[in-house]
Structure 1
C-alpha cells in the first residue's frame, strides 16, 4: 500500500505557510533573524536627479548600520514607477513625490486599477518645479509653451505628473497645445542644447546635476520660467496641502540672476505596509543618525528634520517609524 505520509507532510507545510503569511510573516526578515542577509531594493530615479545619489547614499549607510542588511539603489523613472514597484513587491523602499503618493493611495490616475498600500518613513525635502529653457526662445511664462516642443519628463515620473497639472492649470492641454516629448532630465538637457526641444519640465531638489550641466554649457544661457502663478489653480484642483510656493534663489545655477517663484511639492520615503515594525524603525533611525553622511553625498539630505519629517504625508506613517518619532519626542 502506498504511504500517505508525503501528502500529509505537504498539507501540514501548506497550513503552516498559510498561518505564517496571515501573521505577517516575511521570509526575508526571517532569513535575517536566522543568520542570513536581508537584501533591500531602493527605488530611486534617473542618474541626473536627486533621488539616485540620495538613494545610493542611503543604501551605503544602511549597509554600515543595520546588521545582516544590504541595500541597493535602483535606477528608475522615479515616483510613479517607484510606487508601482512597491505595489508589485519589486522594491522595498521608494522615494516618491507626495502628489503622486496621494494618487497611489487613492487609486487615481496610473494607480486606478488598485491603490498602493504604502507607508511613510519620513518627509524628506521639497521638490522645486523647474521649467527650463534657454535665451532666445521667447518663452517667459507657462502660456508661452503653446505650440512649442516641450519635454514633460520621463513616463511614469513625478515630473510628468506635475508637468501635466501645471499645463492644465495654465489653460493648456498637454496632448493638444504643446508638441510633447517624454524625456528624462538628462535627455531633456541634451535635446535643449541641440535645439530639438524648446523647454522642459523637471521636478527636483537644489541643485540638480543636469540643470547645472545645462547652465554651465558654453554659448548657452539657461533660463528658468516662473510658475508659481499657477499655484492657486493647483490648490483648488487637488488635495489641500500638496502644493506650496518655493523660490529658487538666484545663483543656484550659473546665469540665473534673479529669484524664481515656483510650485513646490514634498518628497517622502515610503515602504510597503507589510514591512516589519523593527526594520521600519531601524531604517528611520538610520536616516537621522547618518544624516551627516547622507548630506555629504547630496545637500538636500540636510533638509531632513524631526520637526518636518512627520508633516505633509498623504499616507499613514509606518508604526515602526512612529515608534522612532515618539522616542525622539517628535510625534504629534
Structure 2
C-alpha cells in the first residue's frame, strides 16, 4: 500500500507521535518558494472565487508557498489537468473525483488523484419559470435544458438525473445545451431554454439575481437520491434549499454533492501540510463568497469517500485529531 492511500481509520486512531516534527516542518520557511498550480473553474464561478481567495490567504500567511489559480471549465477538465501534470492541485465535485479514481465514464483509465479535504457541499439546483408547466424532472421531456458547461461537474449530475428520469433517449428526450452559469441564466431569462441545472453553494449570487428578475420555481430532486446512490454510491446525499433563499416560501429538497480539494500524489507532503494549515486557519474567508453558513471541520474534511488521502493530508489530520 502506498503512503498516499492511508485509511481514515488509521488517521483517526493515530497518536500525536511525530506531531512536533510535522508542525516544525511547517514553520521552517527557508529555501525557494514552492509554486503549485490550482485548477479552479470559469471566471466568476465559485471554484474560481475559492481559488483566488486561497492564493491570497497563502500569500498572506508568509509561507514559502505560492498558489497559482488556473481558470478552467471545472471538475472534469480539472481532473484531466491534474492527471496529465499540467496542474498540481484541483477542485472537483466528489462524483467526478470518484469517476477519475475508478477510471469510469469521462475517464478512460484510473487517475493518480489524492484528496486533501472535502471543503464544502454543492446543492443541485433545477429551476424553471414559475408560470411555466414544468413541475418535475419528467416534465422536461422534449424541452430545452441548460445542463452545464462542457467539462463541468454540473453537466455530470444533470446528465445522471436526466438518465434516471428516462430523458436521455427514447421518443422524447430532453434537449441538453452545454452552457455555463452566466449563459444559462441569460438563456432562461430570454426563454431560449425551459430549465436550468446548477450545482453550487447556497445562495449562488447569479441565481439570486435571476430570482429578483424572473419568478422562478425550484424543483425538488431529493426523490432521485436513492437511484443515484444505488448506481454511484454515497457521493450523493439529500439536502435542503432553505426557505428564504432565492425568495423561497418553503424548503425544497434536493441533492448534495461534496467538493474536494485534490492533489497529484507526487506533490511533496510538506507542501500539503502547509497548504492545509492555511485552509483551516482561514476557512471563513475562503468560503465567504462560495456558500453561506458553511463550516470546515476536520471530521467533515476527512470524508473523501473513495478518493484516498494524500500522505501529507494524513500527517496534517493526525496533528489535528491527536
Q: 1:126 to 1:298 in 2, by over 3 A?
A: closer
Q: Pick 1 or 2: higher relative contact order, CA cutoff 8 A, min separation 6.
A: 2
Q: 1:265 aligns with which of 257, 260, 264?
A: 257
Match of 1:171 in 2: 166
What CA distance in whole angstroms lies between the structure 2 residues aligned with 1:129 and 1:242? 13
Match of 2:305 in 1: 313
| Counterpart check, 1:212 vs 2:204 | no
Query: C-alpha offsets along residues 250-291 of structure 1, whole Å, 9 cap, x if unaligned?
Result: 11113x222111011111100000000100111111110112
TM-score by length of 2: 0.86
Q: 1:298 to 1:100 in 2, by over 3 A?
A: closer
Match of 1:243 in 2: 236
Match of 1:130 in 2: 125
* TM superposition shift of 1:125: 1.2
Q: 1:275 aligns with which of 259, 267, 292?
A: 267
Match of 1:229 in 2: 223
What CA distance in whole angstroms lies between the structure 1 residues aligned with 2:249 and 2:44? 23
Match of 1:47 in 2: 43
* TM superposition shift of 1:300: 5.0
| Counterpart check, 1:69 vs 2:65 | yes
* TM superposition shift of 1:118: 0.9
- Residue pair 1:291, 1:301 contacting (<8 A) in 2 also: no
What CA distance in whole angstroms lies between the structure 1 residues aligned with 2:48 and 2:221? 26
| Counterpart check, 1:121 vs 2:85 | no
Q: What stretches of structure 1 of length at least 5 have no aligned partner?
A: 1-32
Secondary structure of residue in 1 paired with 2:321: coil
- Residue pair 2:145, 2:196 contacting (<8 A) in 1 also: yes
* TM superposition shift of 1:174: 6.2
What CA distance in whole angstroms lies between the structure 2 residues aligned with 1:158 and 1:261? 20
C-alpha RMSD over aligned residues? 2.0
Q: 1:89 to 1:34 in 2, by over 3 A?
A: farther
Secondary structure of residue in 1 paired with 2:38: strand
Tell me the number of residue pairs that the alignment of Structure 1 and Structure 2 aligns. Answer: 294
What CA distance in whole angstroms lies between the structure 2 residues aligned with 1:214 and 1:274? 43
Secondary structure of residue in 2 paired with 1:320: helix
Match of 1:141 in 2: 136
- Deviates most, 40-49 or 120-129: 40-49
Query: C-alpha offsets along residues 206-244 of structure 1, whole Å, 9 cap, x if unaligned?
Result: 111211121122xx10221111111121111112x1111
- Residue pair 1:120, 1:313 contacting (<8 A) in 2 also: no
